[in-house]
Amino acid sequence: MSTIANAVVALVALLHLYFLVLEMFLWDKPAGLRAFGQTLEAARASKVLAANQGLYNGFLAAGLIWGLILGAEGFGVKVFFLSCVLIAGLYGAATASRKILFVQALPAAVGLALVLLA
């Protein structure tokens, strides 16, 4: 069970690294515009905010990777960072886009449940 839990934690970390790249480097490029469904004008106006958000996603990924590197001793670290991702995903789904519930919150909830059960 812990192997599956760690695989899901790694998947959530990779998702957040992908979000970092999209928000920090591709926000106003075609891939970023498609991913977030916005115009070039809107993306240019919000580029600095998106980069900041991307940095936070990088911190979440780093925390999850740290928890994985710690092995069994990383239980608390994984629980903390998965909880942060879950809360951020729920807030994003409530305030920005329902899609965030499935892309961010659901994987974090599954990972959290698996880590707690492992």
* Annotated domain spans of the chain: 2-117
d(CA 79, CA 115): 7
The alpha-carbon radius of gyration of the chain (Å, integer) is 15
pTM of the model: 0.93
| Predicted confidence (pLDDT) per residue in 3-57, tens digit | 999 999 999 999 999 999 999 999 999 999 999 999 999 999 999 999 999 999 9
Q: Which of 89, 84, 79, 37 is nearest to 59 (CA)?
A: 84
Sorted by sequence, the CB contacts under 8 Å of residue 38 that are 6+ apart come out as: 46
Predicted confidence (pLDDT) per residue in 64-86, tens digit: 999 999 999 999 999 999 999 99
Q: What φ, ψ does residue 101 adopt, rounded to 5°?
A: -60, -40
